[in-house]
Amino acid sequence: MTPTLPLLQVENVAKAYGALQAVDSVSFSLFPGECVAILGPNGAGKSTLIEMLVGLTQPDSGSILYGNRPLATHKAEILEEIGVQLQESHLYKKYTVEETLRLFASFYQGPTQEKAILTRLNLQEKAHTRLEHLSGGQKKRVYIGCALVHNPTLLFLDEPTAALDPQSRIHLWELIVSLKKEGRGILLATHHLEEAEFLADRLVILSEGRVVATGSPTELIAKYGKKEEVIVRKRGGLEEVFLQLTGRGLHDE
Amino acid sequence: MSKSLLEMVKGRLREFRREPSAFFFVLFMPILWMVILGGAFSRTSQPQAHIGWIPTEGEFATHIREALEKDPHFIVKQGDLSTQRHLLGTGAVDLYIDVEENQVRYHFDAQHPEALHTRRWVDESLQSAMGRISPVLTEDRRESIPGSRYIDFLIPGLLAFSLFTTSLFGTGMTIVSHRRDNLLKRFLTTPIRPSEYILSHLIGRLLIMMLEIAIILSTGNLLFGFQIQGSFLAFLFLCVVGTSAFASMAIAIGSRMNETGTYNSITNLLMLPMMLLGGIWFSLSHFPEWTQPLLGLLPLTALVNGFRRIALEGGGLLDVLPQSAILLVVGLFCFAWSRKRFLW
C-alpha cells in the first residue's frame, strides 16, 4: 500500500527577527482529513510560523512542502489550494456578506461556491447585511467562509473562536469537524486548550519558537498530565500538559 | 480586466458610495468653496470702499465731507480719532480722513494694497469734486469677458485642489486602514497579484474623478457660466494625468504606514504648503519673481497652471506638455517607489 503523501510537510523551519529567534527548527506534517493544532503561549512563534506556511514571510532556513511541491517555487498554485483565516484580520465593514464572499471568490481561478458557503455557514438570511452590522460570531463565520469559498484542500485557522460566546464556538467546532470529515487538512493555531483537545488529532506545542512536544491529546495527557487530574477533570489534563511544557509564568511581556 | 481586478474596482466604488465623508469631501466641499468664493467675488453691483471721517468744523471740511458722501463708491463712517484708529486696526475701513485748515490728511497702511488703492480712489474723487480738470479726456467702458472674472480663475484651481485632496485622503487613507486591519496580509494569502490591488485604487480613483469633474464643471457652468475656452479633451487628459500622479503620491506616502493618524499628519504637512503656494486662490505673480519657476514645479501648481492654460487661455494638449510632463514624472516616480517599498 502506498503511504499517503502529507498535504503539508514542514522541516526544520526557522525564522529570526534580529536577536530574537521567533521560530527555531520546527518540523511536523499534516495529512488529509487531519487537524493539527499549534499550541503555545503568547510570543511562542505561532503567528510567525503560520505566516511562513502561507507565504507571508520567508523562512531563514528549512523547507515547506505542499504535497511534494516547495512553497518557495510553487506559491501561486499552492495559494489556489489553501484557505486562510488570519487572526485579527478585518474585512471591509461596508461590504455585505455576499459581496465579501464574491470578492474573495474572484481571486481564484477554479470553481467557487459562494451560495453553498452561505447555506453551510447558516448565513443565508444575512447575505445582504453589511459586516459592520453582524455579531462577532457571524463575522467569524464570514471570515471562515472567505477561506472556504474556493473549496480548499488545506485550511489554516488562526484563533478561529477567540472572543466568541459558547454557542458560536460550538457551532464553529461542528463546522471544523465536518470539514475534517470531508478529507480537508486543518492547521489550527489556538490558545484554547479545550478547543485543541476537541478538534485536534495531533498537537504541536511551541515554546519560545521551539517544538517542545508533539502527539495526540491522549498521548500527551498520558505522558505529561497528572493522573489524578485526568481522572477528576476529563478535559483538564491537557491544561496541565500545557503548563508543564511551557511553564507557569506569564508570557505577555 | 481580470475578474479579481474588476471585483476590486467595484469594491472601491462601493466603499466610496457607502462612506458619507467621502461623498462630502468629493462632491459637497468643492461646490461649497465655489459658491462662497464665487459669490463673494462676483458682485454685480459697483465696488465700494469703506472710509473713516473725523468730524471737523469749518466750510472746507464740510465741502470735503459732502463730496465724499455724494460719491456712491464710498461708505463713510464717522467717529473721533480713537474710533477711527480702532476701525482701521480691525480692517473695518481702508483709511480714515481728517481735515486741518485747508489740508486733507489720509491715514492708512501703505503696505496694504487695498488701502493704497482706496487712497488713490478717494483722492481722485475729491480732486474732481473740488474742481480739478483732467488734461486728458478718458472714458470708462466696463466689460465682463468670460475667463476674466475671479470665478473663472478660481474654478480650475478648485478642481485641481479637489482632485489633490480626494486622492491623498481617499486613496492613501484607505490603504493605510487596510494595512492596519491586516486586510492586505489577508489578500496576500490568496492568488491575487499585489499589483492588482494597487491598480484597483488607481482605476477606482479615476472613475470617481470623472464624477468629481462632471459635478464641479457643471455646477460652475450653471451657477457662474464657467466655460472651458480650450480643448476639453486636453482638459480631460490633464485630469487623468493629475489624478494618477496624486493617487500615486498617496500610495507612496501610505506604502509603509499602518496608523491613519500618522498618515493624516504627513499628508497635511504636504498639503498645506501646496495649497498656499499652488496658485489656487490667487495668482503666483504675487510671489517674488525668482520663486515662480520653482513653484511651477510643484505637482499641484502644475495641474492648476495646466487647467488655467486650457480653460482660460484656450490652450490645447501641446500647450500643457510641460505641466503634463511634471505630473507624469511625479506619478511614475511615486508608483515605482511604491512598487519597491510597499509593505503588505
Pairwise CA distance, residues A148 & A153, whole Å: 9
Interface contact flag, B183 A90, Cβ < 8 Å: yes
| CB proximity A162 to B under 8 Å | no
Of B181, B182, B191, the CB nearest to A108: B191
Q: State mean pLDDT over B134-139.
A: 83
A230 Cα to chain B: minimum distance (Å): 39
| Together in a domain, A109 and A206 | no
Domain count, chain A: 2
| Together in a domain, A136 and A187 | no
| Together in a domain, A63 and A18 | yes
Q: A145: pLDDT confidence band, cut at 50, 70 and 90? A: very high
Q: State mean pLDDT over B136-152.
A: 75
Residue A175 maps to a domain: no
Of A55, A82, A95, the CB nearest to B14: A95
Q: B44: pLDDT confidence band, cut at 50, 70 and 90? A: low
CATH of the domain at A28: 3.40.50.300
Interface contact flag, B6 A106, Cβ < 8 Å: yes
A92 Cα to chain B: minimum distance (Å): 8
pTM score > 0.80 for this model?
Answer: no
Residue A194 has pLDDT above 70, yes or no: yes
Instruction: Decide if B185 contacts A55 (C-beta within 8 A).
Output: no
| CB proximity A106 to B under 8 Å | yes
At which residue does the C-alpha cell 511581556 appear?
A253
Cell of B74: 464710498
Residue A138 has pLDDT above 80, yes or no: yes
Pairwise CA distance, residues A91 & B186, whole Å: 9
Residue, of B307 and A240, whose pLDDT is higher: B307
Q: A23: pLDDT confidence band, cut at 50, 70 and 90? A: very high
Q: State the pLDDT at residue B45.
A: 59
Q: State the pLDDT at residue B145.
A: 64
Cell of A175: 463546522
For residue range B194-216, what is the model confidence (pLDDT) as tens digits? 888 888 988 998 998 898 899 88
Q: Coil, helix or strand for A35?
A: strand
Instruction: Decide if B150 contacts B41 (C-beta within 8 A).
Output: yes
Residue A252 maps to a domain: no
Partners of B14 on chain A (C-beta within 8 Å) are: 94-95, 99
Helices (H) and strands (E) in chain A, counts: 10, 10
Residue A222 has pLDDT above 60, yes or no: yes
Residue A216 maps to a domain: yes
Residue A55 maps to a domain: yes
Residue A177 maps to a domain: no
Partners of B4 on chain A (C-beta within 8 Å) are: 106-107
| Together in a domain, A73 and A159 | yes
Q: State the pLDDT at residue B120.
A: 92
Q: What is the share, in percent, of chain B residues with pLDDT greater than 90? A: 38
Q: A49: pLDDT confidence band, cut at 50, 70 and 90? A: very high
Other CB atoms within a 10 A radius of the CB of residue A104 amount to: 28
Residue A165 has pLDDT above 90, yes or no: no
In A181-210, the residues whose Cβ lies within 8 Å of chain B are none
Q: State the pLDDT at residue A107.
A: 93
ipTM above 0.90, yes or no: no
| CB proximity A31 to B under 8 Å | no
First and final CA of chain A: distance in angstroms?
50
Q: State the pLDDT at residue B280.
A: 82
Please state, rounded to an integer, the average pLDDT across all residues of chain A: 86
Interface contact flag, B182 A88, Cβ < 8 Å: yes
First and final CA of chain B: distance in angstroms?
23
| Together in a domain, A73 and A162 | yes
> Residue A71 to residues A49, A62, A148, B267: CA-CA distances in angstroms?
14, 11, 20, 39
Partners of A146 on chain B (C-beta within 8 Å) are: 186
Q: State the pLDDT at residue A91.
A: 85
For residue range B230-242, what is the model confidence (pLDDT) as tens digits? 999 999 999 999 9
- Which stretch of DSSP H or E encloses residue A240? helix A237-246
| Together in a domain, A225 and A109 | no
Of B4, B11, B185, the CB nearest to A92: B11
Q: B343: pLDDT confidence band, cut at 50, 70 and 90? A: confident
Strands (E) across chain A are located at: 8-17, 20-30, 35-39, 61-66, 69-70, 82-85, 154-158, 185-190, 202-207, 210-215
Please state, rounded to an integer, the average pLDDT across all residues of chain B: 87
Q: State mean pLDDT over B125-139.
A: 86
| Together in a domain, A112 and A205 | no
For residue range A148-163, what is the model confidence (pLDDT) as tens digits? 999 999 999 998 888 7
Q: State the pLDDT at residue A232.
A: 36
| Together in a domain, A237 and A187 | yes
Amino acid at B225: G
| Together in a domain, A157 and A225 | yes
Q: State mean pLDDT over A59-87.
A: 93
Partners of B6 on chain A (C-beta within 8 Å) are: 106
Q: State the pLDDT at residue A228.
A: 44
Q: State the pLDDT at residue A58.
A: 93
Instruction: Decide if B323 contacts B306 (C-beta within 8 A).
Output: yes
| Together in a domain, A43 and A139 | no
| Together in a domain, A27 and A76 | yes
For residue range B150-196, what is the model confidence (pLDDT) as tens digits? 888 889 998 999 899 888 888 888 899 999 988 998 999 999 888 88
Residue B43 has pLDDT above 80, yes or no: no
Q: How far is CA A177 from the centre of its chain?
A: 13
The chain B residue lying nearest A156, using CA atoms, is: B189
Give the range of the structural domain holding residue A123, as residue numbers without chain letter.
90-152
In B169-198, the residues whose Cβ lies within 8 Å of chain A are 181-183, 185-192
Q: State mean pLDDT over B60-80.
A: 91
Residue A234 has pLDDT above 50, yes or no: no
Residue A70 has pLDDT above 60, yes or no: yes
Q: State mean pLDDT over A32-54.
A: 91
| Together in a domain, A146 and A221 | no
Walk me through the domains of chain B, giving residue ranges and CATH numbers: 3-41+149-341 (no CATH), 49-129 (3.40.190.10)
Q: State mean pLDDT over B10-24.
A: 84
Partners of A76 on chain B (C-beta within 8 Å) are: 191
Residue A232 maps to a domain: yes
The chain A residue lying nearest B175, using CA atoms, is: A92
Q: State the pLDDT at residue A252.
A: 46
Q: State the pLDDT at residue A248.
A: 57
Q: What is the share, in percent, of chain A residues with pLDDT greater than 90? A: 52
Residue A58 maps to a domain: yes
Residue A158 maps to a domain: yes
Interface contact flag, B189 A54, Cβ < 8 Å: yes
Of B7, B183, B191, the CB nearest to A102: B7
Q: How far is CA B212 from the centre of its chain?
A: 16
